[in-house]
């Protein structure tokens, strides 16, 4: 690993190799008549290696960013599940926040993340991405008004491709997860409150 820190700037690079056994994975089986059953089974073993990058810094006095990315190679062995041969591939995933402190009381954030193609014992999951927005208005040291918007560009979808000698299937799941949450947060107790981050998966601040 390598790390650099100076003032608000922080950079981290990590090269890694992981060897995993008895992980858990989804397995799809056909019950006939177009009915598919998805169960959870133990994957014999998998290996992965790659490069993780993290960068935090300040672009202007009011504009900051923090980002991370992971480029890696992955190999899985599902022989114990009845699927012959090892399968491998490369992918890239990442996330980034752009933060704007417009005034001492007004804070904006744009959040984007992307998950790359992921191998499964019988095929793969397609990449997906999402863009979220957040706004916080500080009323006083304990009370804040918060608004968040999730998946504002309607990008969300989950595509699972199954491609084996006995079963071929393409399952596409879409959902209208676009939503706006509005509320207030209040900090109890003494001491200086910690800076809030937006938890877009839950629709509000953490």
Q: pLDDT (tens digit, 9 = 90+) per residue, 19-75?
A: 988 778 888 888 888 888 888 887 768 899 999 999 999 999 999 999 999 999 999
- Percent of the chain at pLDDT above 90? 48
pTM given for the model = 0.77
Instruction: Name the average pLDDT for the chain.
Output: 86
Q: For residue 50, count other CB atoms closer than 10 A to its CB.
A: 19
Specify the range with the lowest mean pLDDT, choosing from 3-7, 23-27, 102-106: 23-27
> Residue 114: what pLDDT?
92
């Amino acid at each position: 690993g390598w790390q650099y820190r100076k003032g608000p700037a922080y950079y981290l690079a990590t090269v890694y190799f992981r060897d995993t056994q008895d992980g858990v994975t989804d397995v799809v089986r056909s019950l006939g008549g177009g009915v598919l059953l998805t169960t959870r089974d133990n994957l014999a073993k998998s290996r992965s290696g790659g490069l993780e990058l993290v960068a935090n810094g300040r672009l202007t006095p009011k504009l900051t960013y923090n980002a991370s990315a992971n480029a890696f190679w992955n190999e899985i062995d599902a022989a114990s599940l009845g699927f012959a041969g090892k399968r491998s591939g490369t992918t890239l995933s990442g996330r980034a926040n752009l933060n704007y402190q417009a005034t001492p009381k007004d804070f904006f954030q744009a959040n984007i993340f992307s998950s790359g193609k992921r191998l499964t014992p019988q095929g793969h999951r397609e990449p997906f991405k999402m863009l979220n927005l957040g706004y916080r208005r500080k009323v006083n040291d304990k009370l804040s008004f918060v608004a968040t918007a999730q998946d504002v560009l309607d990008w969300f979808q989950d595509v699972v491709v199954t491609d084996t000698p006995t079963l071929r299937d393409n399952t596409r799941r879409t959902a209208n997860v676009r939503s706006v949450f509005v509320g207030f947060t209040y900090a109890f107790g003494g001491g200086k409150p910690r800076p809030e981050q937006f938890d877009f998966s839950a629709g509000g601040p953490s």
